[in-house]
Amino acid sequence: MSLEITEPTPVIISEERQVSDTRRELVLNMGPQHPSTHGVLRVRLTLEGETITGCDPVIGYLHRGVEKLGESKRYAQFVPWTDRTDYVAAPSNNLGYVLTVEKLLGIEAPERAQYWRMIMAELARLASHLVWLGTHALDIGALSMSLYCFREREMILDIFEKFCGARLTTNMMEIGGFSRPIPPDLPDMIRDFLAVFPKRQREYEDMLSANPIWLARTRGVGVIEPDVAINYGLTGACLRGSGVNYDVRKAQPYLFYDRVDFEVPLGTHGDVYDRYLVRMEEMRQSLKIIQQCLDQVPTDGPLKLAESNYVIPPHDTVLTTAEDMQRHFIWVIKGFSPPKGEVYLAIEHSKGELGHYIVSDGSPIPYRLRIRTPDFVNLQSLPYMAEGAMLADVVALIGTIDIVLGSVDR
Amino acid sequence: MNWAAFLSNYIFAFIVLNVMLGLMAYMTYFERKVLAAMQDRVGPKRTGPFGLLQPIADGIKLLAKEDIVPKNADRLVFLVAPLLSFVLAPLSAAVIPFGGTVTVFGQEVNLYVADINVAVLYVLALGGMGVYGIILGGYASANRYSLLGALRSAAQVISYEIVLGLSLVGVFILSGTLSLVQILEAQQQPLSFGGVQVPNWYILSQPLGFVLFLIAAVAETNRAPFDLPEAESELIGGFHTEYSGFRFSFFFLAEYINMIAVSLLAATLFLGGTDGPIADGVWWLAAKAALFLFFYIWLRTTLPRFRYDQLMGLAWKVLLPLALINIALTGLIRLWGLGLL
Amino acid sequence: MSAEVLVFDILGAIAVLAAAGVVLARNPVHSALALVVSFVNVAAIYVILRAEFLAAAQIIVYTGAILVLVLFVIMLVDPDNLPEFHGGRPVQRLLALILGLALLGEVMAAILTRTIVGQPGPWSPQAVAAVGGNTQALGRVLYSGYVLPIQVTAVLLLAATIGALVLARPDTPRVRALVRDTATISLAHPRGSEMANGVEPALPALAAGQLKLEAGERTLVMAKSGDDFLDQPVWGERHQS
Amino acid sequence: MSELTATHFLTLSAALFIIGMLGVLIRRNVLVIFMCIELMFNAVNVSFIGFAWEQHSLVGQTFALFIIAVAAAEAVVGLGIIMALSRRLDTVDIDQVHELRE
């Protein structure tokens, strides 16, 4: 049979449709290579003069089939993949996956490890919010904000690097705790950061919060009513910006969030400015959480769950004791096989509720691995917000839902 | 024909033009350095000592870049448009007085290229003509979106040109003339204000006019919070999207020359150009112009961008009425001053 | 041939050629460009005729504003579907040409055989210079004998702007017409929606300490625990648009 | 002809006026017609200012100023009409604008 290769139909870049005798509608294509779409997002806008009448985001340019990959990797091998989804807050992704697997296995990391996991997750939240603020302000025109935000983010990345060797793709969390010891001067490094950051954050707020042009560009733009936010399934700052009180750390506390005192900021108008305020306040609350964790974390104690065939035995005993060597050998070759069943666990990621749903058929490889990333869901509200907005607002709207295409497309 | 006077004036004009072009080149360097300093980084320092050769390096780079002309572009207009805005920009330095008259080799040389009666209107006319570079650039690149971007920025420049003109009427009322040389002289006699020697600069007697002029000047040169056309290139396609190579640098450099020209104008009109507390001279003018240039860059780093409708709304609903009120007030004060009221 | 006449002739020739270019150009944008060249040269001629203010006014108003508006309209009217060059019937064109040449002959005859009548007015170049220049002299003349025409022109310009606004007012695009009042959900955890419709979600009764951050004029509400404000959503004024 | 006299600017004015008139008669594109009208305005201005120069009086220049103001007003309204016209009939060919006829 002849394999005729059909000429690919040219992608319609723009055409003008005659809507009514007097109005002409312009279809405009923004992206996928575009400075302010935070990655490879393409937005097809239909315009009427200056106002947007239709907007549909086109995604999939960064789809790597992470979930399908999950069905061919053993549980412990999949952790590096979780960094690559939301590459801006990798520790949070690791945490989400690892906690879900531990829930499936019915085991729990030692107390010291859980505290350190909380510290790293909150630092990841700060890093992610700094990237959001920098790019959001840059899109709306404040050039220097991105420079200042990335200067602070450097300090966090240095902490990650000291802790796990990598800045971005941290791959720091393992099932059952941490296998590497905590560097002794890490707590002081974090305390220095906690001392410097509030002053820097006040600098950001001096630049933006009361800046008339910033207020003009963000107030009343992209308003989402609370009920609409819930119906769209929005989570994180997008939901709390409209005043709905739902934070996974408070609703379903995991790790030791119930032992830590912090507050959840809620907006009152649900526009871009409110989401900006909510995220800035979240940064301050994260500082408070990290401070309390640093005070409460036991300075010694096991970092890794000991005898359990779900956990790789510690290095020092592998070579000396036969039993550990054998366990290490089986663990590496075959991996461990969890009980049959399914599990869903959600954590409060910087962008919203990050959920992992794993179906295990008892084999070392999960039967189904579903990752519910927050910004994929939050992105669905873009058309709702964009309708009726001005053309120049699209940039602000993309910034306010804080999407990273790695986790949108997976 | 008094050849000596003509020759000296010609030489002076030649010097002014070259200084303007040189300043323009080093304005890019100055901007990148100041921008970097404000953003906690270093800025160019590889090319030559302290990166001083950076403008030359940029120039060579742009010369080497391929000069693409879009297929169905309107060739002639496409080629002329950047030249138009580049050539018109330095002309407005011709009316700016760099000093009084000085004798060099026994020849009377007055330190301004031309003292025409309608100097400020001449500068406004050049501003008005500069719009053509933008419109024709957008039209000629044959793509629908750079055309829309060009029309937007043209509308912005026209609206702010009106505000610019009206904001200067206050100064004309006080100085009674349009020629910059006479305006400079009018600012030089210090006012004795309750015993205190206060320089009679128009910034003191025309604060509102000064602020309006500043805002309109920033908008007129498509800079800082009003740089929508540049941002527009992300959304709609600014007028210089299709340009590349040295042709693009004409647009790019025209912006800088406009900035320098407007700064010189602002320094002369409102801060008493070459008039300084100790020794009057062109260095005072340079210092004041540098102050304004720094202000341009400062705006660029800190302020976010206006949206198009806010930008136009600001011009027509806020600045224009303020300018008219300023004119009325200055007129009344002037009449009261002359005792006619 | 004094230098003045030479310059005048050059400028005049360019102006006339450019004017011809306006009529003959195939693409309206090119004819607009030709008109710009013609106006600039005419402005230069005004300077020769010692009317500097008029020259500046000509460039600012004619080329700087009117022609830019014309270019706007040319470009907004989608220049590709313009009528074919010289669509008029050839007979009409020929007739127009003959008519034009006849008129030109008549006018030239009148010009060449004219006799200067009336004695020269008061504003000799020396008098203009004494007053301070063309602008000052023009100001004196305008505001001594022509105050009424100025007011009339002002009213005319006002009428023109209002007229233009009415003409160019875009018909309102259909924008966010729908009022979004989907049923609200009571929020223990978002289980079901039994919100009595018509109940306006109000700001929750706030305990004293909870209203926290005075950001701009916008206040953030700080929730201490997961089940604060769960009875109904926190909401400012409902967005009717 | 060595000295600048009235005939110079009058011939220039006449030439511009004739060209403008021909343009109005010949061309079918409303916008070009509009530009030719501006050209005729300009021709009149040249003669006004020429006479002001010759008669040593500024009255001519004041009239020229008023003409510029009126031309601006006319241009604004004229272009508004052209815009509305082109939006409704989607053409700028003056021949097709004949709804008021018959």
The pLDDT tens digits for A175-197 are: 888 888 899 999 999 999 999 99
Instruction: Report the domain count for chain C.
Output: 1
For A21, the closest chain D residue by CA position comes to D88
Chain D residues in contact with A21 by the CB 8 A cut-off are 88
In SS3 terms, A231-265 reads as HCCCCCHHHHHCCCCCCHHHHCCCCCCCCCCCCEE
Q: Is the pLDDT of residue D84 over 50?
A: yes
Least confident range of A207-211, A240-244, A307-311, C116-120: C116-120
| Bigger pLDDT: C12 vs C113 | C12
CA D73 to chain A, closest CA, distance in angstroms equals 26
For D64, the closest chain C residue by CA position comes to C54
Q: Which of C45, C67, C156 sits opposite D70 (nearest CB)?
A: C156
DSSP string for B177-239: -S-HHHHHHHHHSPEEETTEEE---HHHH-HHHHHHHHHHHHHHTT-GGG-HHHHHHHHT--T
Within a domain: A37: no
User: Tell me: the pLDDT tens digits for C205-238?
Assistant: 444 444 444 555 677 888 887 777 766 544 443 4
CATH number for the domain spanning A381: value is 1.10.645.10
pLDDT > 70 in chain A, percent: 93
Sequence-separated (6 or more) residues with CB below 8 Å from residue A383: A54, A55, A56, A57
Please check whether residue B306 touches A, CB under 8 A: yes
Please check whether residue B87 touches A, CB under 8 A: no
| Bigger pLDDT: A99 vs C190 | A99
CA A243 to chain C, closest CA, distance in angstroms equals 5
Please check whether residue A148 touches C, CB under 8 A: no
pLDDT in tens, chain B (341 residues): 678 888 888 888 999 999 999 999 899 999 999 999 998 888 888 888 888 888 888 888 888 888 888 887 888 888 888 888 899 988 988 888 887 777 777 777 777 888 888 899 999 999 888 889 888 888 887 777 778 778 888 888 889 999 999 999 999 998 888 888 888 888 887 776 666 777 788 888 889 999 999 999 999 888 878 887 766 556 666 777 778 888 888 888 888 999 999 999 999 999 887 877 777 788 888 999 999 999 999 999 889 888 888 888 899 999 999 999 999 999 998 888 877 75
What pLDDT, on a 0 to 100 scale, did the predictor assign at position A134?
92
In chain D, where the domains are located:
27-90
Of residues A285, A288, A237, A274, the one with CA closest to residue C219: A274
What pLDDT, on a 0 to 100 scale, did the predictor assign at position A278?
93
Under an 8 A CB cutoff, do A141 and B225 touch?
yes
Chain B residues in contact with C132 by the CB 8 A cut-off are 117, 176-177
CA angle A52, B299, B153 (to 5 degrees): 40
Within a domain: C179: no
Cα→Cα distances B197→B93, B182, B187, B287, Å: 31, 21, 13, 21
Domain that holds residue A330: 66-409
What pLDDT, on a 0 to 100 scale, did the predictor assign at position C179?
35
For A47, the closest chain C residue by CA position comes to C173
Q: Which of B118, B132, B135 sits opposite C135 (nearest CB)?
A: B118
What pLDDT, on a 0 to 100 scale, did the predictor assign at position C158?
93
Cα torsion A85, A87, A88, A89: sign: positive
What pLDDT, on a 0 to 100 scale, did the predictor assign at position C35?
94
CA A400 to chain B, closest CA, distance in angstroms equals 15
Under an 8 A CB cutoff, do C123 and D82 touch?
no
Q: What is the mean pLDDT of residues D3-15?
A: 88
Within a domain: A44: no
What pLDDT, on a 0 to 100 scale, did the predictor assign at position B42?
87
Give the count of Cβ contacts less than 8 A between chain C and D. Answer: 244
User: Tell me: the pLDDT tens digits for A163-180?
Assistant: 999 999 988 888 888 888
Q: Using CB atoms, which chains have 3+ pairs under 8 A with C?
A: A, B, D
Under an 8 A CB cutoff, do C52 and B116 touch?
yes
Token output for B305? 């961008």
Q: Which of A14, A214, A391 sits opposite B304 (nearest CB)?
A: A214
Please check whether residue B177 touches C, CB under 8 A: yes
What pLDDT, on a 0 to 100 scale, did the predictor assign at position D85?
81
CB atoms inside a 10 Å sphere around CB A286: 22
Q: Note whether C touches B: 3 CB pairs or more under 8 A.
A: yes
CA B43 to chain C, closest CA, distance in angstroms equals 34
What pLDDT, on a 0 to 100 scale, did the predictor assign at position C216?
56
CA B239 to chain A, closest CA, distance in angstroms equals 16
Under an 8 A CB cutoff, do A51 and C175 touch?
yes
Under an 8 A CB cutoff, do B40 and A147 touch?
yes
Give the count of Cβ contacts less than 8 A between chain A and C. Answer: 128
Residue B113 DSSP label: S
What pLDDT, on a 0 to 100 scale, did the predictor assign at position A390?
84
pLDDT, mean over chain A: 87
Q: Which of B117, B147, B154 sits opposite C68 (nearest CB)?
A: B154
Cα torsion A149, A152, A158, A164: sign: negative
Q: Using CB atoms, which chains have 3+ pairs under 8 A with B?
A: A, C
For B227, the closest chain A residue by CA position comes to A141
CA D87 to chain A, closest CA, distance in angstroms equals 6
Q: How far apart are CA A270 and CA C238, in angstroms?
A: 11
What pLDDT, on a 0 to 100 scale, did the predictor assign at position A187?
93
Q: Note whether D touches B: 3 CB pairs or more under 8 A.
A: no
Which pLDDT band, with edges at 50, 70 and 90, does A284 fall under? very high
Instruction: Give the CATH architecture of domain D27-90.
Output: Orthogonal Bundle (1.10)
Measured in whole angstroms, how far is the alpha carbon of residue C74 from the centre of its chain?
A: 14
Q: Which of C29, C30, C135 sits opposite B178 (nearest CB)?
A: C135
Cα→Cα distances C183→A226, A230, B116, C240, D94, Å: 10, 11, 72, 15, 56
Give me the numbers of helices (H) and strands (E) for chain A, helices first please: 17, 8
Q: Is B45:B51 a contact under the CB 8 Å cutoff? A: yes
Which pLDDT band, with edges at 50, 70 and 90, does C195 fall under? very low
Domain that holds residue C21: 7-79
Of residues A122, A133, A146, the one with CA closest to residue A257: A122
| Bigger pLDDT: A103 vs C92 | A103
User: Tell me: the pLDDT tens digits for C146-176?
Assistant: 899 999 999 999 999 998 888 877 665 544 4
What pLDDT, on a 0 to 100 scale, did the predictor assign at position A394?
87
Q: How far apart are CA C237 and CA A268, in angstroms?
A: 9
Q: Using CB atoms, which chains have 3+ pairs under 8 A with A?
A: B, C, D
Q: What is the mean pLDDT of residues C6-26?
A: 92
Instruction: Report the domain count for chain A.
Output: 1
Q: What is the mean pLDDT of residues D5-9?
A: 85
Give me Rg for the CA atoms of chain B.
21
What 3-state class would DSSP assign to B341?
coil
Q: Is B186:B275 a contact under the CB 8 Å cutoff? A: no
Q: Which of A53, A274, A387 sits opposite C218 (nearest CB)?
A: A274
Q: Using CB atoms, which chains have 3+ pairs under 8 A with D?
A: A, C
User: Tell me: the pLDDT tens digits for A315-349?
Assistant: 777 888 888 888 888 888 888 889 999 999 999 99
pLDDT, mean over chain D: 86
**ipTM of the predicted assembly exceeds 0.90:** no
Q: How far apart are CA A253 and CA A237, in angstroms?
A: 18
What 3-state class would DSSP assign to C43?
helix
Using the CB atoms, write b or e for B145-182: b if 16+ within 10 Å: bbbbbbbbbbbbbbbbbbbbbbbbbbbbbbbebbbbbb
Q: Is B86:B250 a contact under the CB 8 Å cutoff? A: yes
Q: Is the pLDDT of residue D94 over 50?
A: yes
Chain D residues in contact with C23 by the CB 8 A cut-off are 19, 22-23, 26-27, 32, 36
Please check whether residue B35 touches A, CB under 8 A: yes
Q: Which of B35, B235, B302 sits opposite A30 (nearest CB)?
A: B235
C window 98-137, beta carbon within 8 A of B: 132-136
In chain B, where the domains are located:
69-95+113-338
Q: How far apart are CA B95 and CA B113, in angstroms?
A: 6
Least confident range of A39-53, A361-375, C47-61, C214-228: C214-228
Q: Which of C201, C215, C225 sits opposite A250 (nearest CB)?
A: C225
What 3-state class would DSSP assign to B268?
helix
Under an 8 A CB cutoff, do C96 and D25 touch?
yes
What pLDDT, on a 0 to 100 scale, did the predictor assign at position C57?
92
Residue given tokens 């000991």 in the structure block: A306
CB atoms inside a 10 Å sphere around CB C139: 16
For B165, the closest chain C residue by CA position comes to C60
Within a domain: C91: no
Within a domain: A212: yes
Residue C203 DSSP label: P
For D87, the closest chain A residue by CA position comes to A22
Least confident range of A363-372, A378-387, B197-206: B197-206
Q: Which of A226, A278, A388 sits opposite C235 (nearest CB)?
A: A226
Within a domain: A48: no
Within a domain: C187: no
Token output for A325? 């060597």
Under an 8 A CB cutoff, do C68 and B117 touch?
no
Under an 8 A CB cutoff, do B179 and C133 touch?
yes
In SS3 terms, B130-177 reads as HHHHHHHHHHHCCCHHHHHHHHHHHHHHHHHHHHHHHHHHHHHHHHCC
Chain C residues in contact with B178 by the CB 8 A cut-off are 135
Token output for B317? 């609903």
Token output for B23? 């300043």
Chain B residues in contact with A393 by the CB 8 A cut-off are 307
